[in-house]
Amino acid sequence: MKDWLSVQDYLYDVRDVGDWEGEEELVADRINTIYHAIWPLIPDEADVALIDRLMRDVWDQLRGSEVMVEADEDELVDWAVNHSRQFIEQYGAPSDDEDEDEDDDAEDVIDEEEY
């Protein structure tokens, strides 16, 4: 489902980040850098709702915090990557076992139709 979206759908413009006392461009650049860093971590089979929740959660964790302006960009990206991995692990795409169960169910339907 990730292929239905693009990281571009989530990027912020200076007008979108709110008031940062003259640092709006820096904040927009940083959240966009973070989004570009975490996008490849999202599994291709992740549904749109999960991706929306992840992106919103990352912004919710950072917005209004001076860390967006004061922290080193690499530290922000490292935090976001770790946070995103944990988020995806907790709420993410189906495990391989769940995929196999769905495949088994599909085979059962096919078998029933043969008889």
The verdict on pTM exceeding 0.75 is: yes
Backbone torsion region of residue 98, taken as left when φ is above 0, otherwise alpha when ψ lies between -120 and 50, otherwise beta: alpha
Number of domains into which the chain is organized: 1
What does the pLDDT look like over 36-76, one tens digit per residue? 999 999 999 999 999 999 999 999 999 999 999 999 999 99
Between 110 and 72, the higher pLDDT residue: 72
Distance from C-alpha of 112 to C-alpha of 76, rounded to nearest angstrom:
53
Separation of alpha carbons 86 and 92, rounded Å:
9
Q: How far is residue 12's CA from residue 56's CA, in Å, rounded to a whole number?
A: 12
- SS3 state at 38: helix
* Domain housing 97: 2-114
Angle at 57 (CA atoms; ends 51, 63), nearest 5 degrees: 135
Find tokens 């709006």 and name the residue.
24
Q: What is the pLDDT of residue 3?
A: 80
